[in-house]
Structure 1
Amino acid sequence: MNGHTVETAQKLLLIASTGGHLAELIRLEPLLRAHPSSLWVTFKTPQSETLLRGRNVLYLPYIKPRAVLTVIQAMLIFAARLGRERFDGAVSTGSGIALACLPVARVRGIPTRYIESMGRTHGPSMTGRLLHAIGGTAMYTQSPRWARGRWQPHPSALTSYRAVPTPRRPESPRLFVTLGTIGGYRFDALVDAVLATGLADSRTVWQLGTTTRDDLPGSVHTMMNSAEFEAAASAADVVISHAGVGTLLTLLDLGLHPLMVGRRAHRGEHVDDHQADMEHLLDGLSVGRYLEVEQLTADVVRSAADWRVTHGEAVDVAADQRQIDLSDREIDLSDPTKDSVA
């Protein structure tokens, strides 16, 4: 129970889209005093089925970015579930699923909190801006650089990771290429860039999502469950990934120092360019490297094999970043004023 007794825990709604949003909420759960009867609300994917096995889960229809009609459908399903149970609070790390659920919970008198993704280093997402405008929800950011007004700072798990040099640069590194699971957005530019390095071979493992290809050497997968993903990543000398927060957290937990390549909206690879924010996220910690597609070269790939990552206790960061460590504080969702940090 993360150091809390069942008697002091809260029955929460833990709401997150799959991918990075779910990965972050799972890591933030120890701060929330969640009772074992808490309900996770997400989409049904190999990731969620693996990570939430044995927990109470409500699966909602997959919500593509800014898909208004699907948001409404999910709201109706969620509202029906709230009619059958009582909850002490609702917490979400986004994205669109937060718009479907937090306003409904608030109308039912359930205290709500939104924690913006750690990948949003320059300002809130569209989901965050809309929830801020709607009001009634306690708003948090994991990027202290823009914490102001109603946006209060929240600790980021990334401060506990450290890069360690392990010089072993192979001439022909074994590659694992992962494009994530987001529906409706291809990432052919990254696949083509990997092929252009000349390093992809029969040992390469590809996880492509919706980027279907029939011209690739090695082993090709549309989706992988967590065990398959971790096995492929751990066996690789270098992991090349789309710049998704969930993928980054998983790779860091495995001790890997990944190359994270940003999707760009002008190529139709995502709804906006928020993945580029990962450059700032990684620069200060050096636990991975952010790249644009054009920067991916054979030398860059080989050099990535010289690093690994360790995971320890969270440490202080520069005072001018206003990072506030709440890891030893209990958070009571019944009183939003207790969430505020001066």
Structure 2
Amino acid sequence: MGNKIFITLGSQKFQFNRLLRAVDELIEKGVIDDTVFAQIGYSDYEPKHFQYKQFLDREEFVAQEDMCDILITHGGTGAIIGAVKKRKKVIAIPRLEKYGEHVDDHQIQLIEQFKGQNLICGIDDTTELEDALNFVREHGFDVYQSNTKTIIESIERFIEGKE
């Protein structure tokens, strides 16, 4: 048995069945032998080879995130930032409009930004998941540095007319 994988698909009213099926297939093939738990949100696919719950309360979510080694998620900013702040190895896959997973494809750009900063492993499609798992097990990611303070200071300077 390997690592603990936590899959979180957010709480917006969109399914991400494609990702859940891909994980089930990798477990069935023996590619994933890790313990897997998923928060599946509004997905209606019911995983066959790993435990899941539709929604987690805050305490359950924090516990699952704290226990995991690898977090697999959609391209939601909150899920990604929360995990990288805790120095989790993150694999992010964008929800895509063409599959009815979102209203547009903005998650592609969000994932590219995080990937470009060497904070996560971003992949374009679930077919790349096996390679992504191998990659995150070996790769060293950079530590997340919040720029909130810089942004606030810039806004304050602007408001005060100093910028």
TM-score bracket, shorter-length normalisation: 0.7 to 0.9
Matched, 1:243 2:63: no
Q: Residues 277 and 312 (structure 1 numbering): CA distance in 2 closer, same or farther, change over 3 Å?
A: closer
Structure 1 residue aligned with 2:50, among 218, 233, 238?
218
Structure 2 residue aligned with 1:304, among 136, 139, 158?
136
Alignment of 1:3-22 (within 5 A): none
Say whether the 8 Å CA contact 1:265–1:273 is kept in structure 2. Answer: yes
Q: Residues 211 and 328 (structure 1 numbering): CA distance in 2 closer, same or farther, change over 3 Å?
A: same
Alignment match, 1:189: 18
Q: Partners in 1 of 2:57 and 2:119 — Cα distance? A: 24
Q: Residues 253 and 226 (structure 1 numbering): CA distance in 2 closer, same or farther, change over 3 Å?
A: farther
Q: Which runs of 5+ in 1 are unaligned?
A: 1-170, 315-324
Structure 2 residue aligned with 1:252, among 62, 66, 84?
84
Say whether the 8 Å CA contact 1:242–1:263 is kept in structure 2. Answer: yes
Q: Give % identity.
A: 19
Q: Which runs of 5+ in 2 are unaligned?
A: none
Q: Partners in 2 of 1:340 and 1:262 — Cα distance? A: 40
Q: Residues 211 and 327 (structure 1 numbering): CA distance in 2 closer, same or farther, change over 3 Å?
A: same
Consecutive aligned runs of 4 or more in structure 1 exceeding 6 Å deviation: none
Q: Residues 242 and 338 (structure 1 numbering): CA distance in 2 closer, same or farther, change over 3 Å?
A: same
Give the TM-score taking structure 1 as reference length: 0.41
How many matched pairs?
158
Q: Partners in 1 of 2:16 and 2:123 — Cα distance? A: 14
Alignment match, 1:119: none
Quick one: which amino acid aligns to residue 72 of structure 2?
I
User: Deviation at 1:195?
Assistant: 2.0
Say whether the 8 Å CA contact 1:194–1:296 is kept in structure 2. Answer: no
Say whether the 8 Å CA contact 2:89–2:120 is kept in structure 1. Answer: yes
User: Deviation at 1:295?
Assistant: 4.1
Quick one: which amino acid aligns to residue 188 of structure 1?
N
- Post-superposition Cα deviations, 1:31-67, rounded to whole Å, max 9, x if no partner, equal xxxxxxxxxxxxxxxxxxxxxxxxxxxxxxxxxxxxx
User: Deviation at 1:268?
Assistant: 0.4
Q: Partners in 2 of 1:246 and 1:209 — Cα distance? A: 15
Matched, 1:178 2:3: no
User: Deviation at 1:313?
Assistant: 6.5
Q: Partners in 1 of 2:42 and 2:161 — Cα distance? A: 41
Higher helix share: 2
Alignment of 1:134-283 (within 5 A): 172-183=2-13, 185-198=14-27, 199-200=31-32, 203-283=35-115
User: Deviation at 1:278?
Assistant: 1.8
Larger Rg: 1
Q: Cα RMSD over matched residues?
A: 3.0
User: Deviation at 1:232?
Assistant: 1.2
- Post-superposition Cα deviations, 1:11-35, rounded to whole Å, max 9, x if no partner, equal xxxxxxxxxxxxxxxxxxxxxxxxx
Alignment match, 2:156: 331
Q: Partners in 2 of 1:340 and 1:269 — Cα distance? A: 43
Give the TM-score taking structure 2 as reference length: 0.79
User: Deviation at 1:244?
Assistant: 0.3
- Post-superposition Cα deviations, 1:154-202, rounded to whole Å, max 9, x if no partner, equal xxxxxxxxxxxxxxxxx8432111111101x211111112223234568
